[in-house]
Amino acid sequence: MKAFAYVTPQSPESAVELVRDDGRFYAGGVDLLGEMKEFLATPRTLVNVKALPGSGEIGFDAAQCTVGANVTVADLAAHPRIIGALPGLALAAAEVGSPQIRNMATVGGNLAQHSRCWYYRHRDVHCRKKGGAKCFARTGEAKYHSLFTGCMCVSPAVSNLAVALAALDARVCVLRGRGVDKLTVEELYASAWTNPLAHNSLGPADLILRVEIPIPAGGRSTYMQVSEKSDFDWALVSCAASALVSGRSVSRVRIVLGAVAPVPWQVAEANQLLEGRTLDDGLAGKAADRILRDATPLEGNGYKLPIARALIRRSLQKLVA
């Protein structure tokens, strides 16, 4: 690890000013410190954003939940009102890492984390995400990589919270310069599909401030994942779903897959297929078929397809159970 300066700003604006082009924001540090130890990241300045006013709070009003970027994943998973109003988000948070990691990791950090691809993480491999000419996973070991591969880098997005928040139509509030942009989760990750060097759409000085999550009357949500180990493991495939539910009739359905593409994967046509209809297993299967229709598995990761199909069907059935 190279030497670095450490500063603690008192406002988001000063944090953005201090980070400049050669610094990184530091909160829980779970992902960043690992990259620094492997010399994948060599910031000259760490800008400690943990103490920014209001950034560790969870608030509710009649129609919305607001979660500060420095809320820990553990607090999110255990918050009674999150569990009651947004169970899919609480379930996703509870699946992040180990209890120790959840106590350190923050909502902003989980959303902004970098690729877990073993080629990217290997200090001696110069892959496409590090500016090289080749994505080694396409012809190499791709067990944990994307099913949707029409992009230059097939390293999948692995943030549990991103999948759940996308299904909940959340907005991520990002300080850019002097203004705040409210991004959908799709917008937050869009650049990872088009630019192999990008992990998300954040610039070096873009700071996540909070997440705003609507709470519609009659809304339900859930989250499920399959991992190789029952504890402290990344998802092989994850699925979040939300809908307005009346009996077994659903509307405003959102189904989002994680760990299958460089972005949280959602297919609008599949959501529309379910609009206003009575959900049964046959209809859930048709939605799963549409979501997975364009998948092009790599050698070694085709096993993800039946897992994804099962998770979609189970998640939808759970909404109306």
Q: DSSP for 100-127?
A: HHHHH-BHHHHHHPPP--HHHH-TT---
Domain range annotation of the chain = 58-113+161-214, 219-320
pLDDT at 24: 95
Structure confidence at residue 139 as a pLDDT band (50, 70, 90): very high
Note whether 58-113+161-214 and 219-320 share their fold.
no
Q: What rounded mean pLDDT belongs to the chain?
A: 95
pLDDT at 231: 79
| 55-65 mean pLDDT | 95
| 227-251 mean pLDDT | 94
> 10 Å Cβ neighbour count for 228?
10
Burial of residue 144 (CB within 10 Å: 0-12, 13-18, 19+) is buried
pLDDT at 229: 87
With a cut of 90, say whether residue 146 has pLDDT above it.
Answer: yes
pLDDT at 2: 86
pLDDT at 9: 95
Classified by CATH at the fold level, domain 58-113+161-214 comes out as 3.30.465
65-112 pLDDT, tens per residue? 999 999 999 999 999 999 999 999 999 999 999 999 999 999 999 999
pLDDT at 151: 95
pLDDT at 18: 94
Percentage of the chain surpassing pLDDT 70? 100
Burial of residue 14 (CB within 10 Å: 0-12, 13-18, 19+) is middle
Sequential DSSP letters for 199-233 = SSS--TT-EEEEEEEE--TTEEEEEEEE-SSSSS-
Structure confidence at residue 152 as a pLDDT band (50, 70, 90): very high
| 25-30 mean pLDDT | 92
pLDDT at 14: 95
pLDDT at 221: 98
What CATH class does 219-320 carry? Answer: alpha beta
pLDDT at 230: 78
